[in-house]
Amino acid sequence: MGVVRTGIKRRIRLLNEALRPPRQLSAPEPSPLLKASRPRPPKRTHVVDYSIPILPRQVDSPVFVIASVRSGSTLLRMLLNSHSRIRAPHELHLRTVEVHLTPDFSEQSMQELGLDKVELEHALWDRILRLELERSGKEIIVDKTPGNVFIWERLHYAWPKAKFLFLLRHPEGVVSSLENRRTNTSTREALEANALKYFKPLEQARRTLDGLTLRYEELTAEPERVTREVCEYLGVAWEPEMLEYSKHDQGRFVPNLGDRSDTIKSGRIQPARTFDDTAALPPGLAEYAKAWGYR
């Protein structure tokens, strides 16, 4: 009887497996509620202890755009990505690509190799940039993630030969753009505070590093002149095809990886909003408007 019961149980199990829906091979997409609950990295400058000498880099001279949110960096990256020698992908968010070392095991092992968490992360970031160049078949890579403002010192340390593009926009234009987002639920005061978190390190980087300063308003009004200046700075010949970015593959418009507005999706360079230079601004915004030559 025991053998019979075992046989019956086996047949029932096999029948249940046959009738069970197919298993999902890939992990399901997290629910929007779960995504919303994940904390974002704090908007502050990284303080890093550089105790290990840097390794040789696979990408010797990457280009980093140092800009605040809502400053036109997606337009700039699409114009640059339309160049035959420049790869400017979506935002890479390198500052949140991290390495985890287990104490007493991998941490000790890496120390014996003369490596630590910081340099391992730099090596990983470098490999990501190199892989993107290999995939594109191009020579120069540009990362335009707004979060770069918080790690500009680290980027400069990790790539001593890196080049920097400082993209400015009228402070009121940045705040107004944040205010006009469909998903905006913040007060005007909160939006100003958010913008200022980017403005401060942006201005520190611009005053410290060698690089090329651009203005969003000039990029939209005189795209050929400005892109010619960028090409000269990067050491490549200007190409008129850069101004027709809709004719090139720019990748998908994905949340958190760049601007997805109708303006950028139009495929046309559209004029920037202008503001009265004599109008009063809150003191915080007025400080940067003056520093950036807007009044």
pLDDT band at 124 (very low <50, low <70, confident <90, very high): very high
User: What pLDDT is stored for residue 4 in this prediction?
Assistant: 52
Contact 258, 246 (CB under 8 A): no
Sequence-distant contacts of 176-182: CB under 8 A, at least 24 apart? 176/273, 177/70, 178/69, 178/70
Supply φ then ψ for residue 18, to 5 degrees: -70, -35
Q: Model-level pTM?
A: 0.85
User: What pLDDT is stored for residue 19 in this prediction?
Assistant: 54
Burial of residue 288, with CB atoms counted within 10 A of its CB: 0-12 exposed, 13-18 middle, 19 or more buried: buried
What is the per-residue pLDDT across 205-257, written as a single tens digit (0 to 9) for each? 999 999 999 999 999 999 999 999 999 999 999 999 999 999 888 888 888 88
Q: Report the alpha-carbon distance of residue 215 to residue 292 in Å, rounded.
A: 9
User: What pLDDT is stored for residue 49 in this prediction?
Assistant: 86
**Fold (CATH) for 54-247:** Rossmann fold (3.40.50)
Q: Quick one: which of 201, 200, 256, 231 has its CA closest to 63?
A: 231
Q: Report the alpha-carbon distance of residue 216 to residue 203 in Å, rounded.
A: 15
Cα dist from 254 to 52, 103, 292, whole Å = 36, 36, 31
Number of neighbours of residue 270 by Cβ within 10 angstroms: 11
**Domain limits, the chain:** 54-247
Q: Report the alpha-carbon distance of residue 81 to residue 86 in Å, rounded.
A: 6
What is the per-residue pLDDT across 126-173, written as a single tens digit (0 to 9) for each? 999 999 999 999 999 999 999 999 999 999 999 999 999 999 999 999
Could you tell me which residues are beta bridge partners of residue 164?
64
Instruction: Please give the DSSP secondary-structure letter assigned to residue 61.
Output: S
